[in-house]
Structure 1
Amino acid sequence: MAEQNASTALLTDHYELTMLSSALADGTGERPCVFEVFARKLPDGRRYGVVAGTARVLDAIADFRFTDAELAQLESTDVVDDATLAWLADYEFSGDIDGYPEGELYFPGSPILTVRGSFAEAVVLETMVLSMLNHDSAVASAAARMSSAAHGRPIIEMGGRRTHEYAAVAAARAAYLAGFATTSNLEAGRRYGISTRGTVAHAFILLHDNEEEAFRAQIAKMGTDTTMLVDTYDITAGIETAVRVAGPDLGAVRIDSGDVGPLARKAREQLDALGAKDTRIVVSGDLDEHAIAALRAEPVDAYGVGTSVVTGSGAPTAAMVYKLVEVDGRPVAKRSTHKESRGGCKAAVRRHKETGTAIEEVIHPAGSPPDPGPHDRPVQIPMVRGGQTVDDLPTLEDSRQRLRKALVSLPWEGLKLSHGEPAIPTVFTQ
């Protein structure tokens, strides 16, 4: 699959270039500004959000250029005037960015990303930044709930057929960040070093004249430590045939349909009776966090999750916004009903009990932190300085570990799947 071109002008929205042209014309485009990314609220029923996609955003900003072909398209369609075309031809972000690292939790109002630069150079980034953060954070937030519900059992991400081809790669990365063990997406494996796994589909079974021939072909090529799909016809007969063909060292069986809880129980009893006591049971088929939680008491060893994770399990966007909060050092804020914003550049401190449990998120004016508590932790980190990405930013593996620690820090109510308030409150200081 071809690499997605992060520099394409298609990642900029038409209205951003309308604002840019007007601001350049009246001289306000060079005014120093601060934009913030935040979510006014969490999706219904969620108690926390997970930040994901930041690394992709930083890579895209570093590469963000308007090519000759893209400039020609803008010129031929009269999207912008000649002066704006000339400005875009030389575009290169030169500002500063701070933000919540990937794998960090966020709550309503959290300053997830802070972009400082001229109005002109910051405003053209809005759609690109939001498209990545909203998608990846929605997937990671859903995946984290699923991983928690799985209670240590591995989950395979297998949603590539249920979303856009580029989104599938980003979703696999976000799910892995949030605790999934592997992905079936080979491009995500190549691009991000994620372990890939996969077994046969029903088409392979149906290709052969009978189930036994299909199983023998699979074992001959893949060895006994493979996963047999046993529900194409009859699960009981499928398991009996799989063990007879592979022997008691069969790696796993997969059940992809039906009421998988009772079916897994019967499968475990049958496998044990056949001497395949170490053969694992993998279940898939329209699973989400609630279905996974309901299977916790069943003899399931791993889950395969597709549609629900790549679509955010009912919340396909994190509803983050990119708002201007400061101009020439002066706070500015939107006052529209139900869409209010808080002016001024902000940062955040997360407060904890001595035990490590998080108790609140204090959002304060940047440069004016509250009196430090004994277990306070600043949440934002530097990401870009003078247009250059800073050294030693967290890796994907670092982000996985960060999220694990963050989830442990939540009050126990924060991990519930039922409706409720955010796990910790956000407190704004003046």
Structure 2
Amino acid sequence: MSALGIPCVRPLVSAVVCALAAPQALAAAPSPSIPGTWQLQFQDEFNGSSLDGTKWRLGGHWAGIAGSGGLSPRNVTVSGGYLKLRAEQRNMSYSGVNYAYSASEVSTFFNYRQQYGYFEARVKYPPVKGLWPAFWLMPDRGSYGWQGAYARTYLKFDLTGANLSQVNTATLKLTASAIESGETNNLVFMKLLDDSWSESSLTWNNKPTPDPVWLEQRWNNKWNPGQEVSVDVTEFVGQQLAGDKKVSLVIADTYLRTKFIKFHSREAAVQANRPRLVINGVTYFASEDATVQWGEYANTNYGKSLELMVQDDWGDTASTFNGGMEVDIMESLGIWGPEVTSHATHWDGYAAQHQSMHWGHVTFPPRADGFHVYGAYWQPGLLEFYVDGVKTGSWSHSRILGVPAYLLLSLQLGGWDGNTPGPQVHNQEMWVDWVRTWSGTRAPAASP
């Protein structure tokens, strides 16, 4: 079973596929670059105008990113049939760490995981010193801690009668009612384009999916009860004013920080404590709000609660110990130049017990459009790597990743080998045409 209680699909004995979101209809099934018996399991062609929140999220399972650049939502876009991951030279803060550069990373963590099969992505990136593009896998055992401790907050502001012609400033204001002490907490504020939900019927199991490219992150919050919390939402409110004039927002953790934060809801006795939007200096109170909770509360409606809550629990789901492993299908450093990549695996943590397997510099012929198809074939005790359908590395060993994994695409900065970022990385982009995974087995190698 998946962590949501959805049965894992087992189309072939060699594959375990767990979709954590509601099942999505797949497009006409393409075939991978290598022959075999395949069944398409995951597919994103990036043909929309935004990142699909049923498949992807910003970052991986933890609130950090490797390299010299912080994770920035403004560096992740979808347009023209591509996912575009951008790097910038600018000061920013992510998860409490200050950076001189911004980077980008998305993953399927908490949405999709698969064990065994073939994994493939069509990618291009510029060979610019300082860039660190990658397509990789990390373990996801589906162990997320106590599901009942997961909570999201939904807010809606109906501006249809507000007689607003433009938005100069718009600030979301909340009043904290309680905050759990100890360790670090995290909040992300997300856009929600689906305004059809109602506070009287909203539950975890029927909640609409927000845009995973969040508006703002608030890290290590130490608010006291009664303290006002403000978030700038000017751009999004302006967009919605030009549309249906309804503004929906979602507040979540997403990084397994375990500590709850509560706010007064629109049912609060003191009006000044209720969620509100201050637009051009005028206050508009929430028309609907509700918390949703997972686990045993997944069908419970909290629309009349006096408080709103945000929390994620924690589970040791992504450890690279005990059968877990990082698998780098494509990992390149800009300093290496064009048409050079590497494959690698890492296991048993990243400290004293860390172990790894590397394939060195892998070179391949150029293509006119700059795109290459990077793939990995994974079976029990076997990993094979491919570029444009040509095998570029293989490894047979009992320690190879033996638990389900989630997918990551990243444009990090720096790394090693003197790949130091500088002004040359500014506004450079990694483009992803598509990502697909299959269950199944490749055809036997031809006899010599």
- Asked which structure has the greater RCO (Cα within 8 Å, sep 6+), the reply is 2
TM (norm. structure 1) is: 0.27
Greater gyration radius: 1
TM-score by length of 2: 0.26
Of Structure 1 and Structure 2, which has the larger fraction of its residues in strand? 2
